[in-house]
Amino acid sequence: MSKSYFDETHCAIGHPKSTFMQWMLTIDHKRIGIMYAAVMFTFFFVAVFTALAMRIELFAPGGQYMDGDTFNQAFTLHGVIMIFLFIIPGIPAVFGNIVMPLMIGAKDVSFPRLNWFTFWLYIAGCCIALASLFIGEGVADTGWTFYAPYSLNTGTNVIMALVAAFVLGMASILTGLNFLVTIHRLRAPGMTFFKMPLFVWGIYATAWIQLLATPVVGITLILAIMEKYFGIGIFDPAKGGDPVLFQHLFWIYSHPAVYLMILPAFGIMSEIIPTFSRKEIFGYRTIALSSASIAGIGYLVWGHHLYTSGMSDIAKTVFSFLTFFVAIPTGVKFYDWVATMYKGKIVLSTPMIWALGTIITFAIGGITGITITMIGLDIHLQDTYYTVAHFHYAILGGVVFLMFAGMHYWFPLVTGKMYNETKAKIAFYLQFVGFNLLWFPMFIAGYYGMPRRYFDYLPEFEIYHQISFFGALIFIAGLIYMFWVFFKGWTKGEAATPNPWNATTLEWHLPTSPPPLENHSKVPYVDFDPYEYHQGEPVVKFNYETMQRID
């Protein structure tokens, strides 16, 4: 039996004998991606159960077992973990690392040692964030946005959370930098930018956002720290500063950050749809360029978070106008995906069902986003459950769902095993139903005026909270079941062939499953488009030993 990347690895320092140290010091992009996934999903479940605790508190009006301050800390903890520890490293850290170099035919990323360092920087950031839970007055109670001046006056551990966010931001920057150089320098010969798989395009656009937007929030957090410890009145109006400036600087990063989350997820969708429609993707260039233009336009729309914070009417109008523009490239992608499926030989495997489910949930998330782009409507809906539901439909129902789709899609590639398809489909339906039950009532509650971040509410909102609660239970049950199916698949599943889905991109043309240490046995010459199907069959075939085309 040939050796896979589970059996051998390159290390950053020396040649340790123990398996444990080999994992700790590994510079192999596939192993680093798996370690990211392990840490991220641990935190993901912490945040999920924090959210469940909030749902239980909200089951009935009035305070039951959590007081207001604890509730404030709970939603901050949920937000900080989900945003900074889970979804921002998210798809790039996991699949960008594991799959992207395979897709472009590279042996590893451009700076493997930097990749290793970045992972440990991420761990350091996680540790600081965790430490803020137990030190002093506990985790911050400001919400994940840390709005000044409250964040500078509260006694809770805001500063530690800011330092953690800064360190995690550094890790994000370095990941983006590594990927940008990798995509520019290490593509297999013949692979031009327009022959790259669309997931690589998603990662590429994302990497630019990571690189250019993250430093802004980094320095904003530093300024907040300077204000807190050195008394400079940068954001506190009592000292001559301007709290709205904090919001501007914060959202200059944090709005592009949501595109940083969704663009690689769109990339996963663009891989799955043609593979399971057995058809060349419709409008390859428009999808690739729409990723780039979402990244570009995404920089110019941050002001829509500040409609009620004090901004001139002209600025509001301009930001509203620009925000509408983001919908155009996103719409282009949606039409392209649907058009790809038209007259395709659709195979309803688990990854495809996840992708189809996401088309529904993300469409709801996206279109409700358009409604709150409108200034007049947003004045009414700002800081209500409507916005919360919109955000979760877009990020959970878009990014995380597609991440799950990607996990089902690349599971045989990463582990060399296959999960049980029927059980995986049951997990999907549980989560899909639970998800909609959990968040759809919030649109209605929010429209009637249920404000977010409150631990108590008027009796007329009780029904929505209770439906949400049962939705949450179903969703979490599905979630746990899905990970159980993965676990069973990895330990007891059947061995998978290198290309179980009849896919066309290079990560499926590996000699063995799971892949060997340095990926493809030889680097192929790429003279084909990424999704070439003829009558439902992949066109390009390789001899996996020599990587010569044999079709």
Partner 1 sequence: MSHEYIPEIATERNGTEHEVQGWQDDFYGGKLGFWLFMLTEVMMFGAMFLALAYYNTLHQQDFLDASASLNRLLGGTNTVILLVSALTMGLGLLKMRAGDVKGAKLMIWATIILAAIFLVIKGFEWSAEYHHGIFLMHDQLLADSPLPFGQKLFFGMYFTMTGLHGFHIIIGIGLMLWLLKRINAGKVSQDHHILYWNIALYWDIVHLIWVFVFPYYYMIGAGGATGGH
List of residues contacting partner 1 (CB under 8 A): 106-112, 173, 177-178, 180-182, 184-186, 188-190, 211-216, 218-220, 222-223, 226, 230-234, 239-242, 245, 249, 252, 522-525, 527, 547-549
Comparing C-alpha atoms, which of 383, 391, 448 is closest to residue 147? 383
CA 154 to chain centre: 30
Residue 240 CB, nearest distance to partner 1 (Å)?
3
Residue type at position 150: Y
Give the pair of three-digit tokens for residue 205. Answer: 């656009």
Residue 194 CB, nearest distance to partner 1 (Å)?
18
Nearer to partner 1, 110 or 330 (CB): 110
Residue 496 carries which DSSP code?
A: P
CA–CA dist 166, 160 (Å, integer): 10
Q: Is 174:129 a contact under the CB 8 Å cutoff? A: no
Residue 301 CB, nearest distance to partner 1 (Å)?
17
**Which residues neighbour 18 within 8 Å (Cβ) at sequence distance 6 or greater?**
none
**Which residues neighbour 257 within 8 Å (Cβ) at sequence distance 6 or greater?**
83, 88, 209, 213, 217
Task: Please state, in angstroms and as integers, the Cα–Cα distance from residue 412 to each residue in 236, 270, 273, 495, following that order.
Answer: 53, 19, 18, 8
Nearer to partner 1, 102 or 523 (CB): 523
**Largest separation between any pair of C-alpha atoms in the chain:** 73
Nearer to partner 1, 222 or 495 (CB): 222
Kindly write down the DSSP assignment for every residue of 408-464, as one continuous string: HHHHHHHHSEE--HHHHHHHHHHHHHHHHHHHHHHHHHHHTT-BTT-S---GGGHHH
Strand partners, 495: 417
Residue 401 CB, nearest distance to partner 1 (Å)?
31
Residue 530 CB, nearest distance to partner 1 (Å)?
17
Nearer to partner 1, 57 or 108 (CB): 108
Nearer to partner 1, 226 or 338 (CB): 226
Residue 428 CB, nearest distance to partner 1 (Å)?
38
Nearer to partner 1, 232 or 289 (CB): 232
CA–CA dist 143, 124 (Å, integer): 22
Residue 480 CB, nearest distance to partner 1 (Å)?
39
Give the pair of three-digit tokens for residue 73. Answer: 């800390």
CA–CA dist 307, 321 (Å, integer): 13
Nearer to partner 1, 54 or 257 (CB): 257
Nearer to partner 1, 317 or 546 (CB): 546
Dihedral angle sign, alpha carbons of residues 204, 205, 209, 212: positive
Nearer to partner 1, 83 or 234 (CB): 234
Nearer to partner 1, 60 or 211 (CB): 211
CA–CA dist 526, 63 (Å, integer): 62
Residue 260 CB, nearest distance to partner 1 (Å)?
14
Residue 266 CB, nearest distance to partner 1 (Å)?
23
Residue 218 CB, nearest distance to partner 1 (Å)?
6
Nearer to partner 1, 83 or 180 (CB): 180
Residue 539 CB, nearest distance to partner 1 (Å)?
13
Element housing 543 (H / E): strand 542-543
CA–CA dist 335, 300 (Å, integer): 24
Residue 38 CB, nearest distance to partner 1 (Å)?
25
323-330 own/partner pairs: CB under 8 Å, 24+ apart? 323/373, 324/370, 324/373, 325/297, 325/301, 326/259, 326/294, 326/297, 326/298, 326/301, 327/366, 327/369, 327/370, 329/289, 329/290, 329/291, 329/293, 329/294, 329/297, 330/290, 330/294, 330/366
Nearer to partner 1, 109 or 503 (CB): 109
